[in-house]
């Protein structure tokens, strides 16, 4: 049986490969790996959220197809966006998702024919490049440079790419760099999309994980945003519901309507107990989010202080649950560095090269480990003198 040619572009997830390296190291050395790779939140949902899911899971009627969303959840989402982001959403501007990654993969199927272009940030979250391959669209990279604060340089996007692009995927606060976009950037993004007739897919999964200054905003809170794009939001990062798989697509009514049409042919909705759990999360959300944010602030500060003291200068991210760290100059690339770090210290990080060409001199560390693990990692770096040898 011959697989489709589109699969030629697909590789096993970098995280699957890292898990194999982790298992091999532990098997050969008997040493537990300190794993900073996969950004799977370790902060569980609030007890009330878990309790709601358990109660609703006991009702036999909640196991039917959930073709229509629970009305109370749509109302809770409307209140959430009005209160949190000062954005008024109509019912026909909201679509429930089985996690925001669902829409990242499927939206190109709505708007891209083979050969159309999708503008993608580099470095990127892996799903951003998987989606164009599935839709047989061309990837048009937008490099994110440290000297530009990891913001898209719209002036550097050539005319051919502007003409070819049907959509662009934008993420701020940004995974993996941790950059946060200022207001002037979002305003420029909207003008760029309008002038070039490009649909903006704005991934706003980390809007509650902004650490300095004002709270993260919604793309849709800016004038003209809903005319050129949609926003994806998630219950995974803010409310600890990563495994419960629920998110939303909201904004432009036409895009929402077309996506609902596609979705009606793909699945039968979100498990009803998960929807009720999401309602509870939104009702008590302010305290949950504040506690989660404070936890990540504490972890990033501890990592900066302890890793820097061990010889690896770490710069604090402005947002997200990730640290985007430069590697020492002596290493040829981030893969070589990550392999050496694992072999010498038992610390596993994600090579930036796996997240795009622009990640070649960086690695990503996920702040989804406890303080003890961060301290242990710093201790291993000191004891092995790993970064002392890196500067010899």
Q: What is the pLDDT of residues 293-351, one digit of tens each?
A: 999 999 999 999 999 999 999 999 999 999 999 999 999 999 999 999 999 999 999 99
The whole-number pLDDT of residue 213 equals: 76
Residues 274 and 371 both lie in one domain: no
Summarize the confidence of residues 128-157 as an average pLDDT: 96
Residues 88 and 128 both lie in one domain: yes
Torsion of CA 59, 64, 66, 69, to 10 degrees: -40
Residues 60 and 202 both lie in one domain: yes
Which of 250, 265, 285 finishes a domain? 285
> Among 369, 371, 334, which residue's Cα sits nearest to residue 354?
334
- Return d(Cα 255, Cα 199) in angstroms, integer: 9
At residue 2, does pLDDT exceed 80? yes
Which of 243, 262, 285 finishes a domain? 285
The whole-number pLDDT of residue 324 equals: 98
Residue 350 sits in a domain of what CATH number? 3.90.1150.10
| Percentage of the chain exceeding pLDDT 90 | 91
With H, G, I as helix, E, B as strand and everything else as coil, classify residue 244: helix
- Return d(Cα 49, Cα 274) in angstroms, integer: 9
Task: Report the number of distinct structural domains present in the chain.
Answer: 2
Residues 71 and 28 both lie in one domain: no
The whole-number pLDDT of residue 185 equals: 98
- In this structure, what are the phi and psi dihedrals at residue 239, rounded to the nearest 5 degrees? -115, 5
The radius of gyration computed from the CA coordinates of the chain, to the nearest angstrom, equals: 21
CA 108, 113, 114, 117 torsion-angle sign? negative
CA 373 to each of CA 142, 167, 206: distance values in angstroms, whole numbers, following the listed order: 35, 40, 23
For 230-252, write each residue's pLDDT tens digit: 999 999 999 999 999 999 999 99
At residue 5, does pLDDT exceed 90? no
**Contact criterion met (CB below 8 Å) for 217 and 85:** yes
Residues 258 and 292 both lie in one domain: no
> Among 223, 177, 232, which residue's Cα sits nearest to residue 200?
232
* pTM of the complete model: 0.94
Residues 34 and 125 both lie in one domain: no
**Contact criterion met (CB below 8 Å) for 358 and 176:** no
Residues 15 and 60 both lie in one domain: no
Q: Which domain holds residue 108?
A: 47-285
pLDDT band at 255 (very low <50, low <70, confident <90, very high): very high
Mean pLDDT of the chain: 95
CA 361 to each of CA 7, 317, 364: distance values in angstroms, whole numbers, following the listed order: 29, 17, 11
Q: Please indicate whether residue 15 or residue 146 has the higher confidence score (pLDDT).
A: 146
H or E element at residue 286: helix 285-309
- Which tokens go with 216? 């993260």
Which of 285, 305, 320 finishes a domain? 285
What's the full length of the chain, in residues? 392
Residues 240 and 269 both lie in one domain: yes
Q: Please indicate whether residue 181 or residue 285 has the higher confidence score (pLDDT).
A: 181
At residue 71, does pLDDT exceed 90? yes
At residue 37, does pLDDT exceed 80? yes
Residues 128 and 236 both lie in one domain: yes
> Among 156, 167, 302, which residue's Cα sits nearest to residue 230?
167
Q: Which residues pair with 247 in a beta bridge?
A: 97, 234
CA 274 to each of CA 53, 164, 278: distance values in angstroms, whole numbers, following the listed order: 6, 39, 6
The whole-number pLDDT of residue 389 equals: 64
For 351-391, write each residue's pLDDT tens digit: 999 999 999 999 999 999 999 999 999 999 999 999 986 54
**Contact criterion met (CB below 8 Å) for 202 and 219:** yes
**Contact criterion met (CB below 8 Å) for 246 and 102:** no
- In this structure, what are the phi and psi dihedrals at residue 311, rounded to the nearest 5 degrees? 105, 0
At residue 392, does pLDDT exceed 50? no
Residues 71 and 146 both lie in one domain: yes
Residues 230 and 364 both lie in one domain: no
Residue 251 sits in a domain of what CATH number? 3.40.640.10
The whole-number pLDDT of residue 17 equals: 84
Q: β-strands 350-351, 362-366: how paired?
A: antiparallel
Residues 298 and 269 both lie in one domain: no
């Amino acid at each position: 049986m011959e697989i489709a040619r589109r699969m030629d572009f697909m590789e096993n997830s970098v995280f699957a490969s890292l898990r194999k390296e982790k298992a091999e190291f532990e098997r050969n050395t008997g040493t537990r790996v300190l794993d900073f790779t996969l950004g799977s939140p370790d902060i569980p949902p609030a007890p009330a959220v878990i309790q709601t899911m358990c109660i609703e899971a006991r009702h036999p009627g909640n196991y039917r197809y959930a073709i229509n969303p629970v009305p109370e959840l749509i109302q809770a989402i409307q209140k959430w966006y009005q209160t949190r982001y000062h954005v008024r959403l109509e019912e026909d501007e909201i679509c429930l998702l089985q996690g925001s990654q669902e829409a990242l993969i499927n939206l190109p199927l709505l708007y891209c024919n083979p050969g159309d272009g999708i503008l993608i940030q580099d470095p990127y979250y892996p799903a951003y490049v998987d989606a164009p391959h599935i839709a047989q669209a061309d990837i048009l990279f937008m490099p994110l440079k440290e000297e530009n604060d990891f913001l898209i340089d719209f002036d550097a996007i050539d005319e051919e790419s502007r003409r070819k692009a049907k959509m662009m995927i934008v993420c701020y606060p940004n995974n993996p760099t941790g950059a946060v976009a200022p207001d002037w950037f979002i305003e420029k993004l909207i003008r760029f999309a309008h002038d070039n007739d490009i649909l903006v897919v704005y991934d706003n999964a980390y809007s509650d994980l902004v650490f300095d200054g004002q709270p993260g905003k919604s793309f849709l809170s800016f004038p003209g945003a809903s005319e050129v794009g949609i926003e994806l939001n998630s219950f995974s990062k803010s409310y600890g519901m990563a495994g419960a798989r629920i998110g939303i697509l909201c904004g432009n009514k036409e895009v929402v309507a077309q996506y609902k049409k596609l979705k009606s042919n793909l699945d039968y909705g979100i498990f009803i107990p998960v929807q009720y759990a999401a309602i509870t999360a939104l009702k008590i959300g302010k305290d949950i989010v504040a506690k989660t944010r404070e936890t990540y602030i504490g972890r990033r500060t501890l990592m900066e202080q302890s890793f820097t003291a061990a010889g690896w200068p770490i710069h604090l991210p402005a947002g997200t649950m990730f640290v985007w760290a430069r590697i020492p100059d002596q290493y040829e690339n981030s893969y070589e560095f990550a392999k050496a770090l694992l072999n010498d210290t038992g610390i596993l990080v994600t090579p930036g090269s796996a997240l795009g060409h622009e990640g070649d001199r960086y690695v990503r560390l996920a702040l989804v480990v406890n303080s003890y693990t961060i301290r242990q990692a710093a201790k291993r770096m000191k004891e092995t003198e790993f970064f002392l040898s890196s500067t010899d």
